Amino acid sequence: MKINVLHNQQDSFSQTILYAPELKLPETNHIAEKCFPAVRFSELHPQEYFLILESEVGAYEEYSRYSKKPSMYSYFGGKEGLEEKFQEMYNNQIEEVKNYV
């Protein structure tokens, strides 16, 4: 699975987000546009998992290659651990959509 890094240094603090562009979720009654499983990364704070809207991705610089990505993976049990979590988020959201319709 491809995992990209979104980075924004425009704010007073630096934000880094990892997300899975291959796991694009459809619009639903609860979500106004397509979105992706993501996690806000911080070495100092707990990781925050969420769904990032497609329009929000454009507010960041996007990197498919990022020098610190391998060390970030260690916080999630490796790349495989992060992939599993993103896949779980994707599957749960798809299931919710099926149950809602």
Tell me: the pLDDT tens digits for 83-101?
999 999 999 988 877 776 5
Tell me: the pLDDT tens digits for 8-37?
866 545 689 999 999 998 877 666 789 999
Residue ranges of the domains in the chain? Answer: 4-100
> Edge to edge, what strands does the sheet with 15-19 contain?
48-53, 35-41, 15-19, 4-8, 61-63
pLDDT at site 57: 92
pTM summary value: 0.86
Rounded to whole angstroms, how far apart are CA atoms 25 and 97? 10
